[in-house]
Amino acid sequence: MHYFITAITTKYFDFKSRARRSEFWFVVLFNFLITSIFLFSVLLAARYGLFFLFGLITALYILWYLFMIIPSFAVAIRRLHDVGVSGWWILLSFIPFFGSLALLVFYFLDSQRGLNRWGTNPKGIS
């Protein structure tokens, strides 16, 4: 939870440092859980004909999505920095399937040891 709170507060606009795997994956997991709750709630509202609730939950999800765009990109770019590649590699996400697969490989790689262009290793390993 700490990683997620930090990502949406103090590191909201941080595109220049590094993020450990645990920071990145915790943000992804928490965002996935919140999105799943929204989806489940929308499906229940639609199933039982609660259209006002359906619209309200959909509007709240859109706000959540818009709020999370920047910190999601920021933590992904910081994760790329941590493995030693430029944040511009995030553009691979616009290539269907293969781009996302390549990024997934980067996201699972271990941190680059020591100092790199984006700072010291957040793990503290030299």
CB contact at 8 A, 110 and 19: no
What is the identity of the amino acid at 29?
L
Q: Return the pLDDT at 94.
A: 95
> Mind giving me the DSSP string for 71-100?
HHHHHHHHHHHHTT--GGGGGGGGSTTHHH
pTM of the model: 0.91
Rg (C-alpha) for the chain, rounded Å, is 17
Token pair of 104 as six digits: 């997934």
**Mean pLDDT value of segment 12-38:** 96
Q: Return the pLDDT at 125.
A: 56
Q: Tell me the pLDDT tens digit for each residue of 38-73.
A: 999 999 999 999 999 999 999 999 999 999 999 999
CB contact at 8 A, 80 and 16: no
| pLDDT at residue 35 is higher than 90 | yes
State the Cα–Cα distance between residues 75 and 18, nearest whole angstrom: 8
Token pair of 11 as six digits: 């590191």
